[in-house]
Structure 1
């Protein structure tokens, strides 16, 4: 039998620097009304590659303060070698992801796109002062009971080895026909409360300043109301980072987090955890975020 030829590798575009986010967000907003999402549509096959990436340590320290990580975590390295928080490579890859998702060949509208989950695998601790290669690409489109979902993969390499990788899913809501409803989620007993956090109204602006994600829904009540929210909401990735700062993460670990409901700002939430599992709950026990950390 003649073997089936391997599919051609996705073309790689090497970037000289990380793209500026503001023009990409503006482009995505302008193109959004012209996009008609559907699960069987095509998506960009390009892999964006940013070689020789070095972390801005001042920006990293600001991120650590906003998210509650200890500044200059020495985990896994000799004295004087700081480690990146487990969520920080997502911030490094976000401009590349936005370049792909704001482009005309990305089928989902950027406006209204909802980050529904993230899966992270950190193969080993990553030095804050190292030089890395970053790769981002769109992996797939899939039907969802509420619309169409896209998966975006981010990979961080050190000397050719993948040391950190993630898979984020983003949902474009639209009317669907003939898609089966998702089965009921497993009912779990609420995790025991650990801490209560009072969140200030400026959390979205502070996280936007250190991450570059200045989506209007996170910045001010007035801009959030334009998109149907009564107040500004916290970034999903801030809620994950804040929980992991409290929970702790082994040097080599798998992290999953599912975003279930927005966190309104200002507000009060309860961080709960047991073993490797954690969650963030609001008033009346409403679950905003569930997650799990497993060593590998």
Structure 2
């Protein structure tokens, strides 16, 4: 495996993403390449802004979703490469799994790594995983697996799957339009489908949509204080949240942890379904 070491966080603009979407010769398999960043420090002011946008309490403990933000520039660098088989534009983030092996303090230095794995067929195209890890003092403390779908057909729809009614909502969330640009500012994900009505329409959405990882983070913030020190949280992203919106959050205890959902307050259609196991 080829290792690309980034000495500092290096983002990628959506102009470059657009250029990467132009027809060009691509490989047929995932690249045997790992992008790493060593001794990444946490900016506490940035962490506080992230906590506020997602609803977390302000503490020095990193939320489970925060290392995903730190690793995101590495993932973008990986997926924007000429050896990556799919253009970034049009990929759909359909699921995300995070495993917290132990709490991470904001004073820690993180060694981050990202690689792609498990290209596989899907009834609507092809799926693959982007695997990110955060190591502290030589020990893996966090792992994230983002599953993407390269779809053949319309881009503006997502599979709902078979969804049982689920528990009644325990909270109603008023999700303002500013969630799109606010989360873009703290995550670095400035995809125009989240920040621009025109950009959203180009991809088949009538209005900008909330970032999927914002909705996952918001769910974990709602469960804050009731989660173990080490756990795995799985989420399947269903229908996007069109901004602004009112959504119902529901959570129920299980033998292993929690099941939770986010649904449209009006139609009851699912935006997200997830579980926590510890």
TM-score (norm 2): 0.91
Q: CA deviation at 1:210?
A: 0.5
8 Å CA contact 1:37, 1:148 repeated in 2: no
2-structure distance, mates of 1:113, 1:186:
23
Label 1:36 to 1:274 Cα distance change in 2 as closer, same or farther (>3 A): farther
* CA RMSD across the alignment: 1.8
Q: Tell me the equivalent position of 1:58.
A: 45
8 Å CA contact 2:172, 2:248 repeated in 1: yes
Q: Deviations over 1:232-291 (max 9, x none)?
A: 000000000001100233210010000011000011100011010000000211000000
Q: Tell me the equivalent position of 1:223.
A: 199
Q: Tell me the equivalent position of 1:20.
A: 11
Q: CA deviation at 1:187?
A: 5.0
More divergent stretch after superposition (269-278 vs 222-231): 222-231
Q: CA deviation at 1:21?
A: 2.5
Question: Does residue 1:237 correspond to 2:213, yes or no?
Answer: yes
Runs of 5+ unmatched residues, structure 2 = 154-158
Runs of 4+ in 1 over 2 A off after TM superposition: 25-28, 35-38, 184-189
8 Å CA contact 1:37, 1:172 repeated in 2: no
Q: Deviations over 1:89-114 (max 9, x none)?
A: 00000000000111111111211111
Q: Tell me the equivalent position of 2:262.
A: 280
Q: Tell me the equivalent position of 1:121.
A: 99
Question: Does residue 1:43 correspond to 2:30, yes or no?
Answer: yes
2-structure distance, mates of 1:208, 1:187:
29
2-structure distance, mates of 1:236, 1:185:
17
Runs of 5+ unmatched residues, structure 1 = 1-9, 73-81, 176-181
Q: CA deviation at 1:36?
A: 8.1
Q: Tell me the equivalent position of 2:240.
A: 262
SS of the residue 2:267 aligns to: helix
Question: Does residue 1:170 correspond to 2:153, yes or no?
Answer: no
2-structure distance, mates of 1:213, 1:254:
24
Q: Deviations over 1:116-156 (max 9, x none)?
A: 00111100100111111001011121111111112100000
Total equivalences in the alignment: 266
Question: Does residue 1:294 correspond to 2:277, yes or no?
Answer: yes
1-structure distance, mates of 2:26, 2:262:
31
Q: Deviations over 1:40-94 (max 9, x none)?
A: x21111111111110111111000000000011xxxxxxxxx2100100000000
Label 1:35 to 1:280 Cα distance change in 2 as closer, same or farther (>3 A): farther
Label 1:141 to 1:35 Cα distance change in 2 as closer, same or farther (>3 A): farther
SS of the residue 1:284 aligns to: coil
